[in-house]
Amino acid sequence: MTIADRFAAALAAENRPELAGPELLPVRLSRACAAVTGVDGAGLSTVDGAGRWLPLGGSDPWASTAERLQFSAGEGPCMSSRSAGHPVLATEEDLGRRWPRFAELFLSLSPYRGVIALPLGPAPWGGGALDLYLTDGAAVVEVDVFAATAVGELASAALSDATIWSSWSPGDDPAWLRGPAPRRRARVWEAMGRLSLDLDVPAEEALRLLRDDAVSRGCPVDEVAGDLLAGRRRPADLGAPR
């Protein structure tokens, strides 16, 4: 079977009731990517029109957590790959050397010890990245990066098809941008706006404060945002701007 055939078969196998619905397309695609590449987890993410990094979906809860940890750190293989425009392979040692802030969270709060990040796009759906996660960091070099790149392109093509052929109103988002992961990230933007207003700081500074607090507490920034919005934390608790 070709890579395209294997990917199509893996994607078809994910057509189960609990994963039905256009908003869960990125989850199905992530699961197919993990199955075809033989890794332990996979996740898709994108950059929206405002330049904000959005998770689209992960193959399982651990993969989704891994993305949140990278966003919380504000650094990591995925962001580096997207910025450089080429694949980034990282073993456990690479993670600690190149992205120490991310590595601290990632290695303590996830089972993964290696990452392969592949840039996606530009395409009709936009652009972003496919992250592949491995519990054995040494196994990073055993993954066929050319095949993984092809799998990423197939996932990107599926998102493009869903963008072009699905029915959605101008000014609205396609259904695959309205899944659980993007909705969860929206809470961070809401908290960022509240923090920016209450502390009278730019949005970028507000996000830095949220991230710094998350790293110091050893948790995803989503949890900090949730505490702030629920009133369990006050803006002043996150510290004065530098």
Read off the pLDDT of residues 35-67 as tens digits, 9 standing for 90 and up: 999 999 999 999 887 788 999 999 999 999 999
Same domain membership, residue 190 and residue 85? no
Same domain membership, residue 225 and residue 107? no
Same domain membership, residue 186 and residue 164? no
Same domain membership, residue 156 and residue 200? no
Same domain membership, residue 34 and residue 128? yes
Same domain membership, residue 163 and residue 205? no
Across the beta sheet with 41-47, the strand order is 53-58, 41-47, 126-134, 114-123, 88-90
Same domain membership, residue 88 and residue 11? yes
Domain that holds residue 202: 180-238
Same domain membership, residue 160 and residue 43? yes
What is the pTM for the complete model shown?
A: 0.92
Same domain membership, residue 160 and residue 215? no
Read off the pLDDT of residues 131-187 as tens digits, 9 standing for 90 and up: 999 999 999 999 999 999 999 999 999 998 888 876 655 667 788 888 999 999 999
Return the amino acid letter for 31: R
**Res. 242: pLDDT tops 80:** no
Query: What is the domain count for the chain?
Result: 2
Give the per-residue pLDDT at 241: 46
Same domain membership, residue 226 and residue 205? yes
**Res. 107: pLDDT tops 50:** yes
Same domain membership, residue 22 and residue 117? yes
